[in-house]
Amino acid sequence: MKTLWQHCHAATMAQGTYSIIESAAIVTSGTLIEWIGPQSELTATDFDQIVDLNGAWVTPGLIDCHTHTVFGGNRSGEFEQRLQGVSYAEIAAAGGGIASTVRATRAATEDELFASAERRLKQLLKDGVTTVEMKSGYGLDLENERKTLRVIRRLGASLPVSVRATCLAAHALPPEYANRADDYIQHICDEMLPALAAEGLVDAVDAFCEYLAFSPAQVEKLFIRAHELELPVKLHAEQLSSLAGSSLAARYQALSADHLEFMTEDDAIAMGAAGTVAVLLPGAFYFLRETQLPPMDALRKHGVKIAISTDLNPGTSPGLSLRLMLNMACTLFRMTPEEALAGVTLHAAQALGMAHTHGSLEAGKVADFVAWNIDRPADLAYWLGGDLDKRIVRHGVESLI
Ligand code: DI6
Ligand code: FE
């Protein structure tokens, strides 16, 4: 099927900048972009279908590169507690926080988890997301991590979205391993990760490197095992304190290090040299009422590519709109709308190891794009949420969600 999409303007995001083509046309062939350029330069004629986009602005499909979409239960009660002054760390220490979601996730059936995650994922897709990464990490034993990862695979098979599954078994210490973090890491390395990888359920390995989770030494063991299994790594690092987790991630050629409010300039130098993407999560920053900003100038100075994501999770960022995160990245982190859009397109693709096929509108890449009824690309970061008028195309086909 060869389709001409005409009468549009494009922010192609090639090289991570707007790279605007006014009065553009796009030719898709099957699932790929065959040609994109000024409509006046179009030479092909043999189309199966011609779609008029009525002056819309076309961007790459949005990519949400860091989510914990699959979980059981609800933590709005903790939100109320935190508003009364109890901290996230205090709630975690009292058995709430991640541990409460682990209990609810273990108690849920695979179908129950699928149904609740599908509702959340549909919200993201309606907002223009065509690729999403989802992490396990609320099962914390083989059976329940497998259940979560299977739900992630099923979501990718049943909705019009490309899915990457990340194993975050090292998210928190399960109760069976209380005070035995080294033993739990060993169990992940020896039993869980090899089994889940062999079942084709894992595209990358992540961990929570933090004083209330796992140490850099423990994370390093996991990274070594991941590399033995030929799996790329990512890391939750420097969210609440500075442990040089992001430098560790860079040493292991991590696809990304995520959060990063407490990272140092040395971390930025290491990440820039390794090509490790900085995934910033303004929803978690906002929701936890953090005050320490990620070091934007150091990231820019050392050439670190910056991605933005919802971090959709029940504890620190119940964010159902990636576009809202664009606004928050600009307002809270002082990013430009252009940087923010690169952060949910090309740089988010790089954070998932997909930049060769996704994240920009270029001939040969996958035909995932959104035609927005807006006046300028910056409008995407300007409106605070809402359901903007749009048409979503995935794999060359208009998707109706
Ligand atoms: N950092 C976060 O912000 C989330 N996980 C993580 O490692 C929080 C997850 C939760 O509170 O449920
Ligand atoms: Fe996260």
- 232-276 confidence digits (pLDDT tens): 999 999 999 999 999 999 999 999 999 999 999 999 999 999 999
Query: What's this model's pTM, rounded to 2 decimal places?
Result: 0.98
What's the CA-to-centroid distance between 304 and ligand 1, angstroms? 23
Residue nearest to atom 7 of ligand 1 (CA): 208
What's the CA-to-centroid distance between 104 and ligand 1, angstroms? 15
Residue nearest to atom 4 of ligand 1 (CA): 316
CB 233 within 8 A of CB 254: yes
Ligand 1 pocket, residue 313 CB under 6 Å: yes
- Whether domain 62-351 has CATH 3.30.70.20: the reply is no
Residue nearest to atom 6 of ligand 1 (CA): 208
Which CA distances in Å does 48 have to 44, 54, 347? Answer: 12, 19, 33
CB 287 within 8 A of CB 239: no
CB 72 within 8 A of CB 108: yes
> Which ligand has its closest atom nearest to the C-alpha of 209?
1
Angle between helices 142-158 and 98-107 (to 10 degrees): 80
Ligand 1 pocket, residue 98 CB under 6 Å: yes
Tell me the mean pLDDT in the region 306-322. 97
Residue nearest to atom 2 of ligand 1 (CA): 316
Ligand 1 pocket, residue 377 CB under 6 Å: no
Residue nearest to atom 11 of ligand 1 (CA): 315
Tell me the mean pLDDT in the region 165-181. 97
User: Counting atoms of ligand 1 from 1, which one is nearest the CA of 314?
Assistant: 12
pLDDT value of position 264: 98
User: Counting atoms of ligand 1 from 1, which one is nearest the CA of 92?
Assistant: 11
pLDDT above 90: residue 81:
yes
pLDDT value of position 300: 98
pLDDT value of position 400: 86
| Residue 324, C-beta contacts closer than 8 angstroms, at least 6 positions apart | 283, 384, 385
What's the CA-to-centroid distance between 239 and ligand 2, angstroms? 10
- For the CA atoms of the chain, what is the radius of gyration? 21
pLDDT above 90: residue 390:
yes
User: Counting atoms of ligand 1 from 1, which one is nearest the CA of 210?
Assistant: 7
What's the CA-to-centroid distance between 308 and ligand 1, angstroms? 16
User: Which of 71, 90, 98, 101, when mutated, tests ligand 1's pocket best, judged by the most ligand atoms within 8 Å of its CB?
Assistant: 98
- Whether domain 2-60+360-399 has CATH 2.30.40.10: the reply is yes
Ligand 1 pocket, residue 316 CB under 6 Å: yes
pLDDT above 90: residue 88:
no
Percent of the chain with pLDDT over 90: 97
Ligand 1 pocket, residue 160 CB under 6 Å: no
pLDDT value of position 93: 85
Ligand 1 pocket, residue 209 CB under 6 Å: no
Tell me the mean pLDDT in the region 159-166. 98
| Residue 295, C-beta contacts closer than 8 angstroms, at least 6 positions apart | 260, 263, 264, 265, 268
What are the boundaries of each domain within the chain?
A: 2-60+360-399, 62-351
Q: What one-character-per-residue DSSP string does 2-65 give?
A: EEEEEEEEEE--GGGS--EEEEEEEEEETTEEEEEEEGGG------SEEEEEEEEEEEEPEEE-
Q: Please, what is the end-to-end C-alpha distance for the chain in angstroms?
A: 21
pLDDT value of position 401: 79
Tell me the mean pLDDT in the region 203-217. 96
Give the integer Cα–Cα distance in Å for 256 and 21. Answer: 30
Ligand 1 pocket, residue 314 CB under 6 Å: yes
Residue nearest to atom 9 of ligand 1 (CA): 315
Tell me the mean pLDDT in the region 343-347. 99
pLDDT above 90: residue 286:
yes
Give the integer Cα–Cα distance in Å for 348 and 13. Answer: 12
What's the CA-to-centroid distance between 302 and ligand 2, angstroms? 24
CB 63 within 8 A of CB 358: yes
Residue nearest to atom 3 of ligand 1 (CA): 316
Ligand 1 pocket, residue 315 CB under 6 Å: yes
CA neighbours closer than 13 Å in the CB half-sphere of residue 246: 34
pLDDT above 90: residue 92:
no
User: Which of 68, 101, 210, when mutated, tests ligand 1's pocket best, judged by the most ligand atoms within 8 Å of its CB?
Assistant: 68
Percent of the chain with pLDDT over 70: 100
Question: pLDDT confidence of 197, banded at 50, 70, 90?
Answer: very high
pLDDT value of position 357: 98
Ligand 1 pocket, residue 135 CB under 6 Å: no
| pLDDT, averaged across the chain | 97
| Residue 98, C-beta contacts closer than 8 angstroms, at least 6 positions apart | 92, 137, 138, 171, 172, 315
pLDDT, tens digit, 9 for 90 and up, residues 10-21 = 999 999 999 999
pLDDT, tens digit, 9 for 90 and up, residues 53-63 = 999 999 999 99
**DSSP type of residue 376:** S
Residue nearest to atom 10 of ligand 1 (CA): 315
